[in-house]
């Protein structure tokens, strides 16, 4: 018969030391966790989605203003709510000025977007801009989180089907539950070697449906890479086409079946399908800038019958099939928005109403901006036109 177990004073002391150490580690993890710096005030009751502006307004008058320091030129509109960021707080506001929900986070906001009826905010964590939270736009409730190592500076990358980021180092896309579907580029401490085929500097990136397009500068020249947005293994890109492009060329449009790049030196846009075949060559109808190692300043947006791209005072329109350039507006102050069968975009004098098929401006609705001359991105929420200016969002009631 074995002797009964005995607990000595030394055993008890050792157990107490281990328990104290474990509690200290748990406490440190709890108090240093990113969620500890967050405070969510959800909607009092879930709201219904608000439709976008269906017809061009006759007149516009200022309704209210909101401070907004979020990245990007265009306002973020999710399910008809205006999403702004100021003083470490995300705020969802209805078109009539009611605060619906708020989310305060004591972290730097790196990127802001919307998809799947959610607001997706990317924050700077302890290892770069890889701390992401998704909030249901109508209820203001948590819809998902993710945290990973990421570059220190990122640009929002997304569509109706994906959200993510790109940077000169790498690009990532996530599905609606924020699970990563693809990463491309330089990966810190990869679990397996030879998973990433290229180690270059990314200069632009766009995505739509199952296509991810990136341009990059490599030792052997400049390339457009067309790849799957959902490869079999998210860590190993599946590239459908490697297309050599002129140095300095960058993405201006993407469709589910191809992408278009502008060559500012030659003054033309070249479109390609997913197999790398050229589908359209279009002369640039207005000057464009040039890509940099930190990305272009342009902004893409979707219209019902066109893809659009804004850069340096010009709004470009592309046919959504073969991505041929169909026209441009050289007096635009930022990206535009659809109002029924017409295009609205800001100009120095107000809001232009244009026919996107003929690329003719039919009228300009006067807007008094008090001498403001910076960029202006347009959106719509309900019957209101939303202007994003430098540091604020201005809501204009339609009449």
- Structural domains in the chain, CATH included, are 37-298 (2.130.10)
**57 contact partners, CB below 8 Å, separation of at least 6:** 339, 365, 383, 385, 398, 399
10-residue block means of pLDDT along the chain (399 residues)? 52 52 43 65 93 94 98 96 98 97 97 97 96 98 96 95 96 97 86 84 97 97 98 96 97 96 94 96 71 58 92 94 93 96 97 96 97 96 97 94
Interatomic CA distance for residues 47 and 41, integer angstroms: 15
Q: What is the pLDDT of residue 190?
A: 63
Backbone torsions φ then ψ of 205, nearest 5 degrees: -155, 140
Q: Which string of b and e fits 273-296 if b means at least 16 CB within 10 Å?
A: bbeeeebbebebbbebbebeeebb
SS3 31: helix
Neighbour order of strands in the sheet with 337-339: 337-339, 342-346, 350-355, 360-366
Q: What is the pLDDT of residue 31?
A: 41
Q: What is the pLDDT of residue 194?
A: 79
Is 163 exposed, middle or buried (CB count within 10 Å of its CB: 0-12, 13-18, 19+)?
Answer: buried
pTM: 0.88
Interatomic CA distance for residues 72 and 201, integer angstroms: 22
Interatomic CA distance for residues 203 and 248, integer angstroms: 9
Backbone torsions φ then ψ of 31, nearest 5 degrees: -75, -15
Q: What is the CA radius of gyration of the chain?
A: 24
Residues in the chain: 399
Token digits for 290? 């040039």
């Amino acid at each position: 018969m074995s002797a009964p177990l005995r607990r000595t004073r030394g055993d008890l002391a050792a157990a107490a030391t281990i328990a104290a150490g474990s509690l200290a580690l748990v406490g440190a993890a709890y108090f240093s966790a990113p969620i500890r710096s967050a405070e969510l005030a959800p909607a009092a009751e879930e709201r219904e989605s608000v439709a976008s502006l269906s017809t061009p307004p006759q007149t516009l008058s200022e309704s209210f203003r909101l401070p907004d320091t979020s990245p990007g030129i265009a306002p973020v509109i999710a399910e008809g709510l205006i999403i702004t960021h100021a003083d470490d707080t995300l705020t969802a506001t209805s078109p009539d000025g009611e605060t619906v929900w708020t989310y305060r986070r004591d972290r730097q906001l790196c990127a802001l977007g919307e998809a799947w009826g959610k607001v997706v905010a990317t924050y700077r964590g302890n290892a770069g801009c890889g701390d992401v939270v998704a909030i249901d736009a109508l209820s203001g409730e948590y819809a998902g989180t993710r945290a990973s190592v990421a570059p220190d500076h990122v640009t929002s990358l997304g569509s109706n089907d994906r959200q993510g980021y790109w940077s000169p180092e790498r690009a990532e896309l996530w599905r609606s539950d924020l699970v990563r579907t693809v990463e491309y580029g330089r990966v810190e401490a990869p679990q397996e070697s030879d998973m990433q085929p290229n180690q270059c500097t990314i200069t632009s990136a766009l995505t739509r449906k199952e296509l991810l397009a990136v341009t990059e500068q490599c030792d052997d020249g400049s390339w457009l890479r067309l790849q799957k947005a959902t490869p079999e293994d998210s860590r190993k890109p599946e590239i459908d086409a490697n297309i050599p492009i002129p140095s300095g060329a960058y993405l201006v449009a993407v469709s589910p079946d191809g992408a278009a790049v502008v060559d500012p030196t030659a003054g033309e846009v070249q479109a390609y399908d997913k197999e790398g075949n050229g589908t359209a060559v279009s002369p640039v109808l207005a000057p464009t800038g040039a890509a940099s190692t930190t990305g272009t300043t342009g902004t893409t947006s979707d219209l019902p019958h066109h893809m659009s791209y804004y850069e340096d005072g010009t709004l470009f329109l592309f046919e959504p099939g073969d991505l041929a350039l169909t026209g441009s507006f050289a007096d635009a102050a930022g990206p535009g928005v659809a109002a029924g069968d017409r295009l609205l975009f800001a100009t120095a004098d107000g809001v232009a109403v244009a026919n996107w098929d003929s690329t003719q401006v039919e009228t300009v609705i006067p807007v008094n901006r008090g001498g403001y001359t910076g960029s202006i991105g347009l959106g719509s929420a309900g019957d209101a036109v939303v202007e994003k200016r430098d540091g604020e969002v201005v809501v204009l009631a339609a009449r």
